[in-house]
Each structure stands twice: as structure tokens, then as C-alpha cells.
């Protein structure tokens, strides 16, 4: 009687996929990848679960992910419940003291803990922080100061993250930080992610959003710009091709790269497993911004 085990096609496929990931796993093990988490990937249950599993996979093969999150829809829901009207200027929320109370409660209290819980459930040891913790981020008023308590990043001190990362914890950071007087400010999460990536000398900055990437025509997904140099990215802002919420994304990619981050990616978070596609495949997805010379994706 034969007792030969039968290996299914599916098993063979699974093993070959794993094996093909080996060079990427080896390349990124021990490296830091800062992920800005937001948009549909945060709202839709299936996408959210896929992001958590992707982060778990990255962490378990020795990559050190750092998560920075926004909180868009949930903040608006709570502002609505409390009858506070949300206001925007240049893609950024104008934040008075009452709004800031809600932003802080929702982002630091609720959204942050939901992400931490979700990650813990798939076996990640996640730790929630805001800019206040360990004086991680200090804010200053954004621009000319007429956006109320909207902040920009004045300084980053990543010291609190090092012992966490060294011990296998995944930091989950909400983009609220105090100014020098201790007043909480709301900072665009892309901007925080970019500055953290720079201060951690991260291998990659990955911004998950709800577009395929930077589009030459923002209404045409087929006009995706797959790879840009720093100067090309700057030109797109100057020409007005990049606008609104894409501006802080593109700017933070430029700043992170100028400060030594190897590659910055703006990626479609509506694609399941967008993170793994970006880290573990050669073609990558979305828009990649690189230093000066053109290189192959993931090189």
C-alpha cells in the first residue's frame, strides 16, 4: 500500500512564492520601514485586516515597521455628533481649540487603540504613541499660523522608538504633538511619517492612500507616474499637477529622501496587500520617488 504524501499544486505554489521572497526578506531584515496608514485601508474591514496581516508578516521576518496614522472619517463623525463644523484650507484641517479636543480624543484615544488592538490580534506586539510620548515629535504652528492648532513638525526625537524596535515592538503613532508650550497640535500624518522616516534613517517610506499614486491627470488612473526623481517631484508641485492632499505627501517624500531615506512610495491602499506588493516584489506598485539618478524599483 502506498503511503506517498500527495503534494498539491497549491502547496507547490505556496512554497515557491515564499522562496522567491527570500532575497527581499534578507534585504529588508533589520531595516525600518515607515508606513503612513490611512484612507480606505483603514476604513474597509477586509483591507484593514490585510494591512494588519502584512505588518505582522513584515515584523515576523525581521523588518521593523513603524506605523503613522491619520483619522479622517472618524474625526468628522465625532465633530458631526458634537455639531462642530469641519473646515479645510489647502487640504489641511483648520483647527480651533474645540476641534483640537476632538481630534486628540479621537486620534490618540480611539483610532490609535483600534489599530494597536487589531495588530495585537494578529500577533504583532504593537505599542501606541502620540508625539507627546518620550517627546517624540514637537510641533510648531503650520505656515503663517492661520490654520489654528494645525502644526508642522518642529523637531523629532526618535529615542523612545529605539528600545521598542530593538525588542520587536511595532510603534503605532498618531499625528498629534505638543508645541513648546505643551499645546496639542494636529499635524498631517504624511508629514509626521516623512520626518520620522528621516530621523530613523528608514529604508523606505510608504504612504498608503486612495489613489494609484501621483497621477499626471488626477482624474485618469492610467496617467500614473511610476517613478520620479526629486526634481521631477518638485516640478509637479510647482506646475500645480500635484495639489490638495497630494501636496503634503509629495513634499514629505522629497524631504525624507533629501535626508537620507532610500526610497519613498505613494501606494494605492485600496489594493489588498499593497504593502507586501511594494516590499516583496520587483515591480512594486504606485509612485516611487527616488534620490537623483533613475534606478530600478526596489534597487
By CB under 6 A, name the binding residues for ligand ADP: 38-39, 72, 91, 209-211, 214-215, 218, 241-246
Q: Residue number with the shortest CB distance to ligand ADP?
A: 245
Closer residue to Mg ion in complex, CB, 64/112: 112
- Nearest partner of 251 among 298, 214, 204, judged by Cα: 214
Helices 112-121 and 45-60: crossing angle in degrees, nearest 10, is 60
Q: Decide: 269 and 199 in contact? Cβ < 8 Å.
A: no
Please check whether residue 140 is in contact with residue 154, taking contact to mean a CB–CB distance below 8 angstroms.
yes
Exposed/middle/buried for residue 143 (C-beta within 10 Å: 0-12, 13-18, 19+): exposed
Min dist CB 80 to ligand ADP, Å, is: 18
Closer CB to ligand ADP, 246 or 288, in the complex = 246
Residue showing the smallest CB distance to Mg ion in the complex: 245
Binding at 215: pick from ligand ADP, Mg ion, none (beta carbon under 5-8 Å per type): ligand ADP
**From the list Mg ion, ligand ADP, none, partner contacted by residue 116 (C-beta under 5 to 8 A by kind):** none
Of 70 and 148, the one with the shorter C-beta distance to ligand ADP is 70
Site membership for Mg ion, residue 212 (CB under 5 A)? no
Among 194, 245, 269, 284, binds Mg ion (CB under 5 A): 245
Side-chain half-sphere CA neighbours of 183 within 13 A: 14
The residues facing 14 across adjacent strands are none
Residues at the contact surface with Mg ion, assessed by CB under 5 A? 245
Amino acid at each position: 500500500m502506498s503511503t506517498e504524501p500527495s503534494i498539491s499544486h497549491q502547496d507547490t505554489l505556496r512554497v515557491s512564492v515564499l522562496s522567491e521572497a527570500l532575497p527581499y526578506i534578507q534585504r529588508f531584515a533589520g531595516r525600518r520601514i515607515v508606513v503612513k496608514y490611512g484612507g480606505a485601508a483603514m476604513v474597509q474591514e477586509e483591507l484593514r485586516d490585510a494591512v494588519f496581516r502584512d505588518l505582522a508578516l513584515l515584523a515576523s521576518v525581521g523588518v521593523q515597521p513603524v506605523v503613522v496614522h491619520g483619522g479622517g472619517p472618524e474625526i468628522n463623525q465625532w465633530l458631526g455628533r458634537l455639531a462642530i463644523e469641519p473646515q479645510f484650507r489647502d487640504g489641511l484641517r483648520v483647527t480651533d481649540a474645540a476641534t483640537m479636543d476632538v481630534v486628540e480624543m479621537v486620534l490618540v484615544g480611539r483610532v490609535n487603540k483600534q489599530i494597536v488592538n487589531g495588530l495585537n490580534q494578529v500577533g504583532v506586539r504593537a505599542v501606541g504613541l502620540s508625539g507627546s510620548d518620550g517627546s517624540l515629535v514637537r510641533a510648531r504652528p503650520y505656515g503663517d499660523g492661520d490654520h489654528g492648532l494645525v502644526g508642522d513638525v518642529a523637531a523629532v526625537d526618535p529615542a523612545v522608538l529605539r528600545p521598542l524596535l530593538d525588542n520587536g515592538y511595532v510603534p503605532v503613532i498618531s499625528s498629534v504633538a505638543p508645541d513648546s508650550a505643551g499645546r496639542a497640535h494636529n499635524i498631517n500624518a504624511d508629514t509626521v511619517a516623512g520626518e520620522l522616516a528621516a530621523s530613523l534613517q528608514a529604508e523606505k517610506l510608504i504612504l498608503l492612500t486612495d489613489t494609484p499614486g501621483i497621477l499626471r491627470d488626477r482624474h485618469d488612473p492610467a496617467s500614473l507616474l511610476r517613478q520620479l526623481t526629486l526634481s521631477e517631484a518638485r516640478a509637479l508641485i510647482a506646475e500645480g499637477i500635484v495639489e490638495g492632499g497630494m501636496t503634503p505627501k509629495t513634499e514629505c517624500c522629497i524631504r525624507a529622501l533629501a535626508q537620507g531615506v532610500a526610497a519613498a512610495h505613494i501606494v494605492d491602499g485600496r489594493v489588498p496587500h499593497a504593502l507586501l506588493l511594494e516590499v516583496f516584489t520587483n515591480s512594486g506598485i504606485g509612485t516611487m520617488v527616488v534620490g537623483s539618478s533613475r534606478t530600478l524599483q526596489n534597487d
